[in-house]
Chain A
Amino acid sequence: MNHRRRPDLLDLALRVWGVLCFAFLFLPILFIVIYSFNVGRLMVAWDHFGLDSYRIAVQDQAIRSAIGVSVRAAIGASAVATVLGTLAGVALARRGGRWVPLFVGLLGLTLVTPEIVDAVSLLPWFVWLGADAHVSIFNHGLVRLIVGHSLFASSVVTFIVRARVAGLEESLEEAAADLYAVPWRRFVDITLPLMMPAVLAGALMAFTLSLDNTIISAFVQVSGSTPWPVYVLSALRSALRPQIAAVSTLMLLLTLVALGLVALVLRRSGESSTQIAEAIAGV
């Protein structure tokens, strides 16, 4: 059996490839973190080491407001997507019917439509709703951001929750029904706790997706409610200062904490690493 000896070379090659891939994946992030300690006028031109950018970033009114808008929009979008997605996911997994293919088709459509198309279609839609149909709530910047960010996220939460609920045995719910639990109590006492990991993972994912959203935000935002990524995008047109790297590093830490929380919640509910990855990545 010569393949017992030969593989070492192939295994080594794969391992080297793996390490190279990780280096590639982390290279730009590493540079952002390093350059956040740059003291200089421009972010990309290294001057000398210092913490000035962090101090300036924390004091900058525009940056603080942009992050405030981002976080509020993310909380709102996450709440909307979680409620809509959880209900829809339960309906898909437990109460299927002939409507399912049509609905799944619509969800799939939201996932495959390029974000730029969502963005350019939401802009005239909000203008029309706000100005022509006189639904003035759609002139509100935060409302626009929440609606825009919740679309893709709702579909993602729906699929995550559906996968989880479909994997749950119905016998527990049936037992509760036999013991005269009304449907509402059955849902709250049995189904909801069992599907909680999926709901939490979905909620955190919707939150991160919203924080990350640049394209839809750039189109639907109104002045005064500029979220963080759009602030960075507009800074590109003038000059990138080291503060942007500093805030990005802080946001990276925030994302890592959120990711760690999801992994922890899923691990405690006994998911394997693959299931955790699937849940977090939404695939």
Chain B
Amino acid sequence: MTTQTAAAADRAVEAQDIRVRRLPSFTLAIPAWAWLLGFFLAPVSLVLWYSFGRKPGLFGTHTNDELSFDRYREALEPAYLPTFINTLRIGVVGTVICLAIGLPFAYWLAVKVPPRWRGLLLGLVLVPYWTNFLVRTLGWEIILSPQGWVSTTLMDLGLRDSPLSVLYTRGAVQLGVVYNYLPLMILPIYVAFERIDPALREASRDLGASRWHTFTRISLPLAGPGVAAGLLLVFIPLMGDYVTATVLGGAKGNMAGQLVASEFQTAQNWALGSAMAVLLIIFIGVTVAFFAILWKSLSAVSRARRGVIVIDTRGGTP
């Protein structure tokens, strides 16, 4: 290579560096940005717009010739409101049950199980999580079915004199959602527990704290962000669930997701369906905000009572 070409290459490099530096810092994010604007924000805004319109006649789906809040009023009428309330109840109860099952389980996995087994067991938790959602739910349909093996066995053993009648009830939907979203509760809590330095627990015990106190004052507060993440990861998709309720709850439609779907697919009333979709988001947002404020004030109170704040400087911020 001659000096001349090397110098030319140098200049080329400099030129390119300058050119790249002149590009704004968000250049690489532009494709994703545009994609989400075009296929997420725009359509969702369109639904918001439709929700102020009305269904023009038997064959139209929507018109925005006169804008009003009437569709919201319609969606909150006695015909639909119980479904929203029911959805909220299934959502809150389901999230609490997931927490009750997932918290001890995640603690056991992250703290009690020897490290060499942890990877494998965690993989086992991921298997149902990655099994098709619909298929998992069908598994429950087999289990709960009146003609199924469980039902006939119970009858053969004389434990029941009529076939199992759990399927297509709210109980079945409740069981189904707890099952379907449980891994989403376990994973973030597991990660939070695993990140806590074991030395902190040892220090707490060396200082004479009981196991219960060590758990409630050291482990649990430090795992707080993981618990909060788990609650959100379970509650939000659960509220919008449509598949579990359709498979295990029958076609009666006892969750808001089914209401929205049927307005779009069957009734062809896009205006009302849109208003219901917006209401669903509002319900979720208000509930999350309510519990977030409750969480904040409760932890402030308990911190004030405890008087000590444990900060694990070695664990990263999750």
Contacts and interface: CB of A to CB of B under 8 A. Distances in A.
Contacts of A283: 187-188, 191, 229, 233
Contacts of B118: 273-274
A160 to B, nearest CB: 13
Interface in B303-318: none
Interface in B168-199: 179, 182-184, 187-188, 190-191, 194-195
B26 A97 contact: yes
Contact of A83 (B31, B44, B130): B31
Given A18-B112, A115-B240, A277-B191, 18 more contacts: A44-B147, A45-B145, A95-B26, A99-B25, A106-B40, A116-B257, A124-B62, A124-B270, A125-B43, A212-B132, A214-B134, A214-B243, A229-B134, A237-B251, A252-B132, A258-B130, A273-B119, A283-B233
Interface in A208-262: 208, 211-212, 214-215, 218-219, 229, 232-233, 236-237, 240, 244-245, 248, 251-252, 255-256, 258-259
A91 B25 contact: yes
Contact of B142 (A25, A44, A116): A44
A274 B191 contact: yes
Interface string B130-157: 1111111111111101011100000000
Interface residues of B, number: 105
B163 to A, nearest CB: 11
A44 to B, nearest CB: 4
B280 to A, nearest CB: 6
Interface of A: 3, 6-7, 10-11, 14-15, 17-18, 21-22, 24-32, 35, 42-46, 80, 83-85, 87-88, 90-92, 95-97, 99, 103, 106-107, 109-110, 112-125, 128, 147-148, 150-151, 154-155, 158, 177, 180, 182-184, 208, 211-212, 214-215, 218-219, 229, 232-233, 236-237, 240, 244-245, 248, 251-252, 255-256, 258-259, 263, 273-274, 276-278, 280-281, 283
Contacts of A96: 25
Given A116-B240, A154-B36, A236-B247, A259 B126 contact: yes
Nearest to B316: A167
Interface of B: 9-10, 12-13, 16-17, 20, 24-29, 31-33, 35-37, 39-44, 46-47, 50, 61-62, 101, 104-105, 107-109, 112-113, 115, 118-119, 121-143, 145, 147-149, 179, 182-184, 187-188, 190-191, 194-195, 205, 210-211, 229, 232-233, 236-237, 239-240, 242-243, 246-247, 251, 257, 260-261, 264-265, 270, 273-274, 277, 280-281, 284
Query: Which 9 pairs show the lowest CB-CB distances between chains A and B?
Result: A114-B240, A28-B139, A273-B119, A125-B43, A91-B28, A121-B43, A88-B32, A95-B25, A91-B29
